[in-house]
């Protein structure tokens, strides 16, 4: 369902006051005054909340459902429908509180499902099984049944080839058998069996199971001295048509890594419970634990839950349910709240106030945003993100009113939850929350590059966003319909690596695509799309020179497009070679094995042929494909929309 951005204007229209509201809002030129106005307006119309909304009843009903769900889970399990059993037990894990017997049962049953879940690769299912066993043991699994869990853990470690760990678990099982409810005969039989298992472990050769090491790419030329997420080969500079941007200080080659950025702030999409919501983890996992207080965010481990609490979740937790009920985009509302509480509490009231007051005043000047008085760029993620350009002037009155009212309501919830903000700071701090909403709306909602994705269908490259993240440094790159850099690697990776896909001579700007490409769409469509989504008129070379789309791009070398006639023979020969290679099946299967060849061919054309030229554009496309490995992760083999 599309977010309802006309929620507040509809309310005011009903009271017949909308025209006046628009007029007054438009006449106020500072964000603080607009915030104060929206807050007063809501107060007058009785639309400011006076208490927090609580999950109460909803959560109780879910908890009562658990027993029934466990029974259904058993039916699926015994009917060997392991995927349905997994879904059902996972619901139970979500609905029950960690530390309770019910929670422990749900985890223990789910561990048994993982053990049998043939659809998952062996190592994955065994690791998940062990994780759930460990958690069930930590949550109050009944003492008289603990031997079963240790036995299961022993089998799983054994199957993973880890003899020593298997022995430890079997030995624990032997001890725990004394607590089991059974006859003396049964106990002695069982102990005999476990001792045989222990003996078998001695014969097991330790296997080294390769771990999926995600190698993080290194920045070409090393780290930038001021902005560590950027390469040393670039600098921040202002361009008259695009504002702040990133420019090459040396020649950059295709394949060079120009930025490695981590999300500064992120949140899993609310519909997705396959992801750890702690934003420094964001691991895809089937094995989740909900926050025991709000039950709205999930973690892959207790450690992540603890770190998330220290990083601000403890503060947003009491108002999570209220935020969930607000109009607009739930995911982004939550993200804005997370961003606000984290920075506000990190900096403290006065520091936060002083910083945002300055940023709210100067953000209109592109080169001042983020720069100190001595023109040194402040690499703090908060400054980079908070000072991001987002064309507020182009935003419709509807949306402007929406965000100021939404910010005022969110702010009220914060104050009701106990955050004490003196009156003299209130409007500035409130306006900072509204600015966060604008920034996230402009830069997060619409850019899929900011959303870790999983493939929507196994056979296609289309992807589904599973989380929303603000990558502060990536946002410094301006857009081109003919990008010379691109995000490489797996789209579900939390860390984003930007690589050059074309040669970028010293002094030129590094440009990424915000989602449109001159090869696929004509100028009019692109302009409309960019203006609709991002509210700017594209000033890239492809738009300014009105380059034709792919099917009209010249494919032949002629005196019109050949810049160096002396090299005509060499270029013709190389073009022929490129065409032969790229029609070859083995090349299509593994273009990444030919990257160096593609880079050399591209550089040859870059220097000697006028663009657009079909083979140049095709070569860029192949480089992009080779840089993007959309790995089919283990979890996507299952339909786990829980
Ligand atoms: C993600 S920000 C990029 C950094 C921005 N230039 C700044 O000063 O913060 C996107 C904004 O940059 C500007 N921009 C980016 N690409 C552009 C282009 N091709 N033509 C014109 N303006 C552009 C627009 O104002 C856009 O809203």
State the Rg of the chain over Cα.
Answer: 29
By alpha-carbon position, which residue is closest to atom 4 of ligand 1? 476
| Mean pLDDT within 392-410 | 90
Is the full-model pTM beyond 0.80? no
State the pLDDT confidence band at 459, using cuts at 50, 70 and 90.
Answer: very low
Mutate to test the pocket of ligand 1, among 234, 236, 243 (most ligand atoms within 8 A of CB): 243
For the cut 80, the answer to whether the pLDDT of residue 465 exceeds it is: no
State the pLDDT confidence band at 457, using cuts at 50, 70 and 90.
Answer: very low
Residue 599 tokens, joined: 């880079």
Buried b (16+ CB within 10 A) or exposed e, 138-171: ebebeeebbbbbbbbbbbbbbbbbbbebbbbbbb
The atom of ligand 1 lying closest to the CA of 540 is 19
Closest CA to 451 of 572, 279, 604, 615: 279
Q: Distance, CA 442 to ligand 1 centroid (Å)?
A: 11
Mutate to test the pocket of ligand 1, among 536, 540, 542, 544 (most ligand atoms within 8 A of CB): 536
534 CB-near residues (< 8 Å, 6+ apart):
391, 442, 446, 479, 514
Tens of pLDDT, residue by residue over 263-278, are 888 877 655 556 788 8
Amino acid 461: pLDDT: 41
Q: Distance, CA 242 to ligand 1 centroid (Å)?
A: 5
In Å, what is the CA distance from 8 to each residue of 45, 53, 397, 403, 404?
11, 19, 11, 9, 10
Q: Are 622 and 628 within 8 A, CB to CB?
A: no
Amino acid 470: pLDDT: 83
Q: What is the ipTM of this complex?
A: 0.99
Q: Distance, CA 478 to ligand 1 centroid (Å)?
A: 5
Cα distance between residue 155 and residue 314, in whole Å: 38
Residues near ligand 1 (Cβ within 6 A)? 241-245, 366, 388-389, 391, 443, 475-476, 478-480, 534, 536, 538-540
Cα distance between residue 277 and residue 279, in whole Å: 6
Q: Distance, CA 80 to ligand 1 centroid (Å)?
A: 54
Tens of pLDDT, residue by residue over 124-173, are 788 888 988 988 888 788 988 999 999 999 999 998 888 888 999 999 99
Q: Distance, CA 430 to ligand 1 centroid (Å)?
A: 26
State the pLDDT confidence band at 121, using cuts at 50, 70 and 90.
Answer: confident
State the pLDDT confidence band at 411, using cuts at 50, 70 and 90.
Answer: very high
In Å, what is the CA distance from 110 to each residue of 141, 144, 170, 329, 331?
13, 19, 20, 33, 29
By alpha-carbon position, which residue is closest to atom 15 of ligand 1? 478
């Amino acid at each position: 369902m599309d977010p309802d951005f006309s929620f507040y204007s509809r309310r005011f229209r009903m009271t017949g006051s909308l025209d006046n509201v628009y007029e007054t809002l438009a006449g106020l030129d500072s964000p603080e005054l607009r915030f104060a106005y929206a807050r007063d307006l809501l107060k007058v119309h009785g639309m400011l909340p006076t208490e927090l909304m609580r999950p109460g009843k909803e959560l109780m009903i879910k908890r009562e459902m658990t027993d029934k769900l466990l029974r259904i889970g058993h039916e699926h399990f015994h009917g060997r429908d392991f995927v349905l059993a997994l879904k059902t037990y996972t619901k139970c894990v979500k609905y029950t509180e960690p530390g309770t017997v019910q929670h422990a049962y749900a985890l223990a049953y789910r561990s048994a499902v993982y053990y049998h879940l043939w659809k998952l690769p062996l190592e994955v299912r065994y690791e998940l099984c062990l994780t759930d066993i460990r958690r069930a043991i930590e949550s109050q699994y009944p003492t008289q049944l603990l031997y079963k869990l240790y036995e299961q853990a022993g089998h799983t470690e054994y199957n993973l080839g880890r003899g020593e760990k298997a022995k430890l678990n079997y030995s624990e099982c032997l001890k725990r058998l004394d607590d089991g409810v059974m006859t003396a005969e049964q106990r002695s039989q069982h102990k005999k069996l476990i001792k045989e298992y222990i003996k078998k472990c001695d014969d097991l050769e330790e296997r080294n199971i390769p771990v999926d090491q995600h190698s993080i790419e290194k920045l070409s030329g090393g780290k930038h001295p001021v902005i560590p997420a950027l390469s040393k080969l670039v600098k921040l500079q202002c361009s008259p048509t695009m504002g702040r941007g990133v420019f090459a200080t040396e020649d950059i080659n295709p394949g060079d890594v120009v930025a490695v950025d981590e999300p500064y702030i992120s949140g899993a999409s609310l519909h997705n419970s396959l992801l750890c919501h702690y934003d420094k983890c964001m691991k895809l996992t089937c094995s989740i634990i909900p926050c025991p207080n709000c039950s709205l965010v999930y973690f892959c481990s207790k450690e992540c839950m603890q770190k998330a609490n220290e990083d601000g979740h403890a503060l947003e937790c009491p108002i999570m349910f209220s935020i969930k009920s607000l109009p607009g985009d739930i995911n982004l509302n939550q993200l804005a709240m997370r961003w606000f509480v984290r920075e506000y509490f990190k900096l403290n009231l006065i520091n936060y106030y002083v910083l945002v007051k300055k940023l709210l005043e100067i953000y209109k000047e592109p080169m001042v945003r983020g720069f100190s008085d001595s023109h040194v760029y402040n690499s703090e993620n908060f400054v980079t993100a908070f000072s991001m350009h987002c064309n507020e002037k182009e935003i419709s009155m509807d949306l402007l009113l929406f965000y100021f009212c939404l910010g005022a309501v969110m702010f009220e919830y914060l104050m009701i939850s106990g955050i004490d903000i003196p009156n003299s700071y209130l409007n500035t701090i409130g306006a900072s929350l509204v600015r966060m909403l604008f920034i996230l709306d402009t830069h997060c909602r619409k850019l899929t590059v900011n959303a870790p994705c999983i493939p929507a269908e196994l056979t296609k490259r289309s992807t589904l966003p599973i989380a929303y993240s603000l990558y502060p440094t990536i946002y410094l790159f301006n857009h081109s319909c003919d990008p010379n850099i691109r995000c490489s690697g797996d789209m579900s990776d939390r860390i984003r690596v930007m690589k050059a896909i074309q040669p970028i001579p010293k002094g030129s700007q590094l440009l990424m695509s915000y989602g449109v490409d001159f090869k696929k769409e004509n100028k009019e469509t692109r302009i409309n799309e960019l203006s609709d989504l991002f509210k700017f008129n594209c000033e890239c070379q492809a738009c300014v020179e009105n380059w034709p789309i792919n099917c009209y791009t010249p494919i032949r070398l002629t005196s019109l497009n050949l810049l160096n006639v002396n090299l005509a023979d060499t270029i013709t020969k190389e073009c022929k070679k490129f065409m032969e290679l790229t029609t070859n099946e083995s090349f299509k299967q593994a273009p990444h094995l030919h990257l160096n060849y593609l880079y050399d061919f591209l550089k040859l054309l870059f220097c000697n042929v006028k663009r657009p030229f079909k083979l140049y554009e095709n070569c860029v496309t192949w480089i992009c494909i080779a840089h993007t490995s959309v790995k089919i992760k283990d979890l996507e083999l299952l339909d786990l929309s829980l």
